[in-house]
Amino acid sequence: MLPGKSSFARLPLLLALALAGLPTISHANEPAWLKVAYKVPAEPSLRNLAHKQHDLFQFFLDNALHGNGKNDFLHIAKKVRNDITWRNGKGSNVYDDAFQRSYPFVKSHDLQGMPDSIMLIPYMESQWHGKKGKKSADYGYWQLVPEVIREIQTLDYIPDGLKTSDIDTIRTDATLSTQAAQVHLHRYHFYFANVAKFPEADAWLLTFTAFNWGAGNVKRMLADMQSKGLETSYSAFYHNLYAAHQDNPGDKSLKAAVEYVPKLWNIAQLIHASN
């Protein structure tokens, strides 16, 4: 499943060819999730967007999870549910508030062929606050670190606004930060879908995990699984990640990684039920 060294060596060229101008997905080779997202054309609304984000995530889970991985995922999703669905004395929930606050932006932003479910990430990361976090570390709508922005700015295919704006402006501006996050996510997804050749549902869930845990950690765990002759699907990966967390319950990085996608799923369900 994972590429050899020659594939890694070709990755920069492949990325440059695939990402030039951040093209939208070709209609000649549309992924199955597009049929889910647009099966019923509808006017933009909070309700329609909430349902689309939910249905897409449900599609990814239904197609990627099975067996032990599915059981582990559902266990963690139930365990962390209260972290996501909690409401204050006025009945307000920070994630649903973030969804509603982001809607004027999201309804007109070009996702460049990416699934609407990617917008669950900034709801989770910052609750859609542009100045949340530390400037020296995770900051802004998508909680991007300075190193990621600097790396993105070296790419020749990014929008001019990303090239010329300073790091803090990018992270605190809804459009620029989302464009930067899309570049970041697109590179992860390109690797998992086009280089490692995972099915599309697996590739997107691995992409979401990599956004939080880092692509290097995800790749190393997959490579270790492969070296042991284990299946390298997303479901098997999640089962392995869950086992690693169980063996090292005090490891904050593993805890965050194993909870990340289940928390996104809980946000999708919350928003779906509330709108």
The single-letter code of the amino acid at 80 is: V
Closest CA to 117 of 175, 171, 189: 189
Rounded to whole angstroms, the Cα distance separating 106 from 64 reads 27
Q: 176: closest CA among 154, 149, 214?
A: 149
Nearest to 67 by CA among 211, 275, 195, 235: 235
CA 99 – CA 21 distance, rounded (Å): 28
Domain boundaries, the chain: 43-113+177-274
pLDDT, tens digit, 9 for 90 and up, residues 231-249: 999 999 999 999 999 999 9
Please tell me the distance from the alpha carbon of residue 221 to that of residue 240, in angstroms, as a whole number.
8
Phi, psi of 242 (to 5 degrees): -60, -45
Per-residue pLDDT tens, the chain, 275 aa: give them: 333 333 333 444 444 434 444 444 433 467 877 776 666 556 789 999 999 999 999 999 999 999 999 999 999 999 999 999 999 888 899 999 999 999 999 999 999 889 999 999 999 999 999 999 999 999 999 999 999 999 999 999 999 999 999 999 999 999 999 999 999 999 999 999 999 999 999 999 999 999 999 999 999 999 999 999 999 999 999 999 999 999 999 999 999 999 999 999 999 999 999 99
Whether residue 98 contacts residue 241, with contact meaning beta carbons closer than 8 Å, is answered with no
| Spatial distance between the Cα atoms of 198 and 208, rounded to a whole number of angstroms | 14
Torsion (CA) 201, 203, 208, 213 in degrees, nearest 10:
140
Report the C-alpha gap between 205 and 208 in whole angstroms: 5
pLDDT of residue 173: 98
pLDDT tens string 38-60: 665 567 899 999 999 999 999 99
pLDDT value at residue 42? 64
Check residue 112 and give its pLDDT.
87
- Longest CA–CA span in the chain (Å) reads 57
